[in-house]
Amino acid sequence: MENELVDLVIEDTRDRMAKVIEHAKAEFATVRTGRASPALVENLMVDYYGTETSLKQLANFSVPEPRLLVVSPFDKGAMAAIEKAISNADLGLNPSNDGVVIRLAFPALTEDRRKSFVKIVRAKAEEGRVSIRGVRRHARQELEALEKEGGLSSDDIEHLEKILDKMTQDGVAVVDALLAHKEQELLEV
């Protein structure tokens, strides 16, 4: 079992599962709670002089109050484009522009809106779980290919599958913990 290819497969699987978890975190951050958060708008694409640019490259963000996000563009000429991108993003936010900064007031969420956000977050969590299982399936296929080449015995494969299953369970548990935290945050009044 001192096979370098096996170590590569396991390490690659670990890295890919970590990336899936990071992606799930980023997806959860895009779902709005009652609080202001730059994560909601920082990845919006803005038409900046004909080039699609993410908002985080065009502005600074601050949260002076729990329900207020202030976007301070580096280039005041980009104000209209930033405002348009935020309006078109369908976040339920109305940007107000005073010529220097754009203020985004976050209204309190209604009970129905909270429940719909919980459904969205649960769907994103399920996508994360499915992706983690997909990473495991891919790793198993690679290990089975190594077994067919004669590099691994069936006992080795069985042992490695237990390792993969443990990694998968741990990854799914992390996604579930992130989901529970986000649901609590959404349902908090």
Q: Provide the pLDDT for residue 167.
A: 94
What span, in angstroms and rounded, lies between the C-alpha atoms of 80 and 22?
A: 32
Q: Provide the pLDDT for residue 139.
A: 92
Q: Looking at domain 4-30+110-187, does it have CATH number 3.40.50.800?
A: no
Indicate the fold that domain 38-105 takes in CATH: Gyrase A; domain 2 (3.30.1360)
Domains of the chain: which residue ranges?
4-30+110-187, 38-105
Classify residue 51 as left (phi > 0), alpha (psi -120 to 50) or beta: beta
Cα 134–Cα 184–Cα 18 angle in degrees, nearest 5: 30
Measured in degrees and rounded to the nearest 5, phi and psi for residue 72 equal -110, 100
Rg of the chain in Å (alpha carbons): 22
Q: Provide the pLDDT for residue 1.
A: 44
Q: Provide the pLDDT for residue 189.
A: 61
Report whether 25 contacts 37 (CB < 8 A). Answer: no
Q: Provide the pLDDT for residue 122.
A: 93
Closest by Cα among 165, 151, 108, 189 to 6:
151
* Domains 4-30+110-187 and 38-105 alike in fold: no
Report whether 67 contacts 74 (CB < 8 A). Answer: no
Consecutive 10-residue averages of pLDDT for the chain (189 residues): 76 94 88 76 86 89 87 88 85 82 83 86 94 94 85 84 94 94 82
